[in-house]
Amino acid sequence: MTQEAVPASRFYLEIASIVEAVFTEVSGLQLEMETQDIEEGGVNGFTRRVPGRVKVSNLTLKRGMTRSNDFLKWFMSTGPGAVDRRNISLVLYDVQGEKLASWHFQNAYPVKWVGPQFTADGNAVAVETVELAHEGLTVE
């Protein structure tokens, strides 16, 4: 059985099943399982390694700047004692508009926001970056 790779086209961020933003670049879709070494008495030839906790990476999203300041406002409303956690979904669509995959993140909140970088002689698209921490993900 062969599977054909399909190029990603766009990523939609949904909160409460409502599309909040479209992103062109996503990073941080990463899970890492820690391992623990167990030294057994009488077994000197090796150390047994067993699975431990799963660590999740922060999710970083980039998009062309829009008139909406929702992510900056969400970031500014989050702080010590006032964390605005939200369950979010990231949905990947192909160039024909067909849904390819979706990831669901529990209790996400912004930990970093970067606004556009400007130069007087530049003509590049203004890009907004938001980084989200979360407590785990599931896939559909």
Mean pLDDT, consecutive 10-residue stretches, the chain (140 aa), reads: 64 87 90 92 85 94 80 86 92 86 94 83 79 92
Q: Which two tokens stand for residue 25?
A: 């670049």
Note the pTM of the prediction, 2 decimals. 0.80
Beta strands in 3-139 (DSSP E): 10-15, 18-23, 25-27, 31-38, 48-56, 59-64, 86-93, 99-114, 127-133, 137-139
pLDDT the model gives residue 140: 79
Q: Which two tokens stand for residue 82?
A: 């006032």
Determine how many CB atoms are found less than 10 A away from the CB of residue 102. Answer: 16
What residue ranges do the domains of the chain occupy?
Answer: 10-139
CATH superfamily of 10-139: Hcp1-like (2.30.110.20)
How are beta strands 59-64 and 127-133 bridged, if at all? Answer: antiparallel
